[in-house]
């Protein structure tokens, strides 16, 4: 009779659903919005999903999210295109070449290895 009995293992774990106070949510959102912070890393730190963090961010920031977003028109260049009447042919020597055409016939070209901080400084200086 003991040969016919099977062993059953029951695995129990704590409940995954937690309750976060509004203050805790605001602190987590603030941490995720800090300069240089990664939302994914913050979500992992608190063992929450990135979707939940995004929902909290929208709830905390409300309408202010749309005020911080700036969109720009982008043309994806295949082989040849016209920009401001000029023909632009991407160079095969520089993979990841990005050409930024600004008002006033200002053109900034960078490749994939550009230093982000330096480019940001140049673009801010050109905006003035």
This prediction has a pTM of 0.41
Domain regions of the chain by residue span: 10-68, 81-127
Q: Is the pLDDT of residue 10 over 80?
A: no
Q: Residue 41: what pLDDT?
A: 93
User: What are the residue ranges of helices labelled H in the chain?
Assistant: 22-33, 39-45, 50-61, 64-68, 116-127
Q: Is the pLDDT of residue 111 over 90?
A: no
């Amino acid at each position: 009779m003991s040969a016919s009995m099977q062993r059953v293992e029951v695995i129990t774990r704590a409940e995954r659903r937690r309750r976060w106070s509004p203050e805790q949510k605001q602190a987590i959102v603030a941490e995720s919005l800090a300069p240089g912070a990664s939302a994914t890393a913050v979500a992992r730190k608190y063992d929450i999903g990135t979707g939940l963090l995004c929902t909290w961010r929208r709830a905390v920031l409300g309408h202010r999210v749309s005020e911080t977003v700036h969109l720009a028109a982008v043309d994806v260049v295949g082989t040849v295109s016209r920009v401001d009447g000029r023909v632009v042919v991407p160079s095969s020597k520089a993979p990841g070449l990005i050409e930024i055409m600004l008002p006033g016939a200002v053109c900034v070209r960078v490749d994939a290895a550009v230093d982000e901080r330096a480019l940001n400084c140049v673009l801010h200086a050109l905006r003035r």
